Every structure is written in C-alpha cells, then in structure tokens.
Structure 1
Amino acid sequence: MPDIVFDIIGTCIGYDVMLDAISTRLGDRLLEHNINVELFFNAWGTACERDFSYLSQIGHYQTTRKILRATFYRTLYHAGIQDPKAFASEDDLDFLSSEWLKLKARPELPALWKLLRDNGFTVWCLTDGDQERVKGYFRNSNLEMPDENVISCDSLGVGKPTPAVYEYMLNKLPNHGADSWFAAAHQWDCCAAKSAGFRTAWTNIYEKYPGEDIFGLPDIVAEGLLDLGEKIVAAQKNSK
C-alpha cells in the first residue's frame, strides 16, 4: 500500500484564524502605519520559520510556539513600528498566541484525505508543530488522524528542513520508502523530501509560485488540494 506524508501547518491547516485575530486585535492600529495584515503575518511567520530552522541547525532546537512569541515584537519593529511594546501589549501577544491554537483545516482537506484513503493510501503527518497542538487543529476541524501517524519534530529534537528529518520519516514508513509520497505547500519542504527519496507533490495554495529556478520541480504541481489528490492518485496508478 502506498504512503503519503503531509506537511501540516500551511499545507493542511490554513491561517485564516490568525489573519482574523490580527485584524480584530491590531488591524486598525496597523492600518494607521500603512501595514497590511496579511503582509505582517507573512513576515512574522517567515521570521519564525527562519529562526526555527537556524536554531535547529546549530543544535539549539526550540519549539515553534516559543519562537513565534519571541519574533513578534521584532517583526513589528521591522514593519516600521519604532516602539513595538508601546504599540502592542503582552495581552495582545497572549491573545494572538492563544488564537494560534485554534487554526483549522483548509476546506478541501477532508475530501482530499478521503480520496487518498479510498485509493489505498495511508496518510501520515510530519510537522514542526508539537503533536498536541497539531492534534488540537484536527479536533478543531473534526478530522480523524491516528496519534501514531502524527510525527512531530519535537520528538526528534531537530526540525525541517534538516535532511535527517525526512530520512527518519522515510525509514519509519512500513515499506521503508517504496511507494512513498510527500505533499506540501512549501517548495523548500518538497525539495528536501525529494532529496531524501520521496516522490513529491506541491500545491500552490500558499506560495502561489513554485520557484522552480531555485528549488527545481516536484513530481506534481497542483492547483489546490483536491487537484493535488487527483494527480497523486493518477500518478500512482500509472506507475504500476
């Protein structure tokens, strides 16, 4: 039976809850400084991902939730707020951090996973998020996912895109890599997974453009999640 491993946050789980939270809590204040909510959140999330990766690379692994809090005021400063702690309070940050726990699945995800399972795939998750938080996202979305199929980098003490993470995941699969796919909305994720030996599938729901001139192309490029599933199923059938 084929296996498919999904990146979770950004791929399966969307960011609408956080965008709404930032807009509700800080939107008017940000607008006074001509700061777009989506652009601010993208900068904040990117800063978090960068520091998560760099800390992992130097052997000083920290959880993403901790890093998200630590990069908040710095991101405000780089967005043009000269006194970030006067602009946003600790209560504001506590509110946004609590909303981070309330993220939900992208609308097409239940149908995608059903399509794959109906076609014989075992679905796995590989995430930089901690397992309890990711399980909470599934509960928020009324989705079933066995605990043993959710692999968090917290348990490894090293984060994506370190090659060892993907090698560990590939070796953990029942077939040890045979008929194994990796799916993500992040091209860096697909690039690393492909180097480890996965067949890869990328969806444009987050990054929009694949940046193939720097990442190369994954095996599948898809528009949205259902298109991703249909193309994976077709490719798997054609490979037999």
Structure 2
Amino acid sequence: MPDVVFDIIGTCIGYDVMIDAITNRIGDKLLKYQCNPELFFNAWGTACERDFSYLSQIGHYQTTKKILRATFFRTLYQAGIEDPKEFANEEDLEYLSNEWLKLKCRPELPELWSKLRENGLTIWCLTDGDRERVKGYFKNSNLEMPEENIISCDSLGVGKPTPEVYTYMLSKLPNNGKDAWFGAAHMWDCCAAKKAGFKTAWTNVYEKYPCEDIFGAPDIIADGLIDLGDKIIAATV
C-alpha cells in the first residue's frame, strides 16, 4: 500500500493555542491599532515561513523557532506600531515563544490517521519544525507517531519548499515513494511536492482557497481532514 506524507505545522497541528496566547497577552493593545490577534499571528507566522524559505535558499539555514523569535518586534512594527519595544517586552516574547511549544493537533487528526492506517497506509511526517518540538505536539495531543517516521528539515540543513527536501523524502519511502501521497494545508507545499513526484492532497483547513491559478491543481482538494483521508483512501484502495 502507498505511504502518505503529511506536512505538520498548519496542516496536522492547528494554531489556536498561539492565537489564544496573543489574545491573552497583548490582544487588547493590538485592537487599538485595528489589528486583531489572528491577523497579527498570520502576519507573524507567514513572515516566518517566508524568511525560513529565503534563508534556506541562500544557504543560511535557521530554525523556525529562532526566526519566529527574531521577527516578533518587526511584525509589530509592520502592524503600525511605531515603537514595538514600548508596546511589548522580552517577557511577552518569552511567554509567546513558550506557548508555541504547546500547540496541539487539529481535532480531526486522530480519526484521519486511524482511517488511513486501518486501510493499510503508512503515515510519515515532513516538517520544517525540529523533531523534538513536533514530538511534543503529538504528546500534547496524546497521539502516537513513530519517531522514525518524523523527518525534520533540521536534519537536512535545508527547508521546504526546496526541491531536495521532497526528493529526499521520496528516497526514504519504499520503492522510492512510487504512488506516495503528500498531504498539506499549504498550496505551495503541494505544488513543490507534486513537482518532485508525489500525488498531492490539499485540505482547506488553513488557507480556505486553493488559488489554483498560481499553484496549479493538486490531485485532491478536500474540505477538512476527514474528507482528505476519505479521498486518499478512495483513490488508493
């Protein structure tokens, strides 16, 4: 049976913990600048993903945790806050950084993985996060994931969506990943995986709109995680 490789943060792991943390710590102050906590987190997280990718491309790889910390005050400034270090302090950043370690799986994930495994598919994780942090997310959610099936870009020194990451992942799979699936909530991730040779399945749990006119069409477009699993199983079994 084929293997299914999942992106983790954003796809399997939701961001509710961080949005709640921002709300509790600096939410009221953000609203005075017409910036709600979810919008701030999306700006912060998206900028972190961009810088992670760009630094990887130029051969200056940095971990996502380090980049997230480094870009906090910059994001506040770009939200219209002229003096970010008066608005927030290092204690605020430390609190939010610690909350980042407490993220949890999306509620549908245990059922999705159970369905896939019951139908004979093997699940793998390919993540820009470090392995220990990702293991912690699964522990936070009481979800089992074999450590040997968690592949972190930290071990490669190069991040997604660099093509080498996906070809390396394929090489780890039986038969070099022939007929393997890649599941993600990021269309850029699906686009890169498809170019490498994966069949791709995108779910709308994070981006909502697939924007196929710029990314191309994945093999599957799913409404949520359970629909993602059902469609992979239907296309495989």
Q: Please classify the TM superposition score into its range, dividing by the shorter chain length.
A: over 0.9
Aligned-pair distance for 1:113? 0.2
Amino acid at match of 1:19: I
Residue segments in structure 2 that go unaligned for 5+ positions in a row: none
Measure, in 2, the Cα distance between the counterparts of 1:14 and 1:173: 26
Amino acid at match of 2:158: V
TM-score (norm 1): 0.98
Q: Does 1:224 align with 2:224?
A: yes
Aligned-pair distance for 1:201? 0.1
Measure, in 2, the Cα distance between the counterparts of 1:209 and 1:159: 24
Question: Deviations 1:169-218 (Å, cap 9, x if unpaired)?
Answer: 01110221212000000000000000000000000000000000000010
Measure, in 1, the Cα distance between the counterparts of 2:80 and 2:212: 32
Amino acid at match of 1:25: R
Partner residue in 2 for 1:82: 82
Partner residue in 1 for 2:29: 29
Measure, in 2, the Cα distance between the counterparts of 1:139 and 1:15: 16
Aligned-pair distance for 1:60? 0.3
Partner residue in 1 for 2:179: 179
Partner residue in 2 for 1:61: 61
Q: Does 1:190 align with 2:183?
A: no
Amino acid at match of 1:138: F
Partner residue in 2 for 1:164: 164
Aligned-pair distance for 1:143? 0.5
3-state DSSP class of the match of 2:160?
Answer: coil
Question: Deviations 1:6-65 (Å, cap 9, x if unpaired)?
Answer: 000000000000000000000111111111111110000011000000000000000000
3-state DSSP class of the match of 2:176?
Answer: coil
Question: Deviations 1:110-162 (Å, cap 9, x if unpaired)?
Answer: 00000000000000000000000000000000000011000000000000000
Amino acid at match of 1:144: E
Partner residue in 1 for 2:215: 215
Q: CA RMSD in A?
A: 0.5
Between the two proteins, the alignment pairs up a number of residues equal to: 237
3-state DSSP class of the match of 2:157?
Answer: coil
3-state DSSP class of the match of 1:214?
Answer: helix
1:32-51 counterparts in 2 under 5 A? 32-51=32-51
Measure, in 2, the Cα distance between the counterparts of 1:179 and 1:57: 28
Q: Does 1:7 align with 2:7?
A: yes
Measure, in 2, the Cα distance between the counterparts of 1:51 and 1:12: 22
Name which of structure 1's ranges 168-177 and 14-23 shifts more when overlaid on structure 2: 168-177
3-state DSSP class of the match of 1:217?
Answer: coil
Name which of structure 1's ranges 27-36 and 48-57 shifts more when overlaid on structure 2: 27-36
Which aligned segments of 4 or more residues in structure 1 are displaced greater than 6 angstroms? none
Measure, in 1, the Cα distance between the counterparts of 2:61 and 2:95: 25
Measure, in 1, the Cα distance between the counterparts of 2:69 and 2:183: 28
Residue segments in structure 1 that go unaligned for 5+ positions in a row: none
TM-score (norm 2): 0.99
Q: Does 1:139 align with 2:139?
A: yes
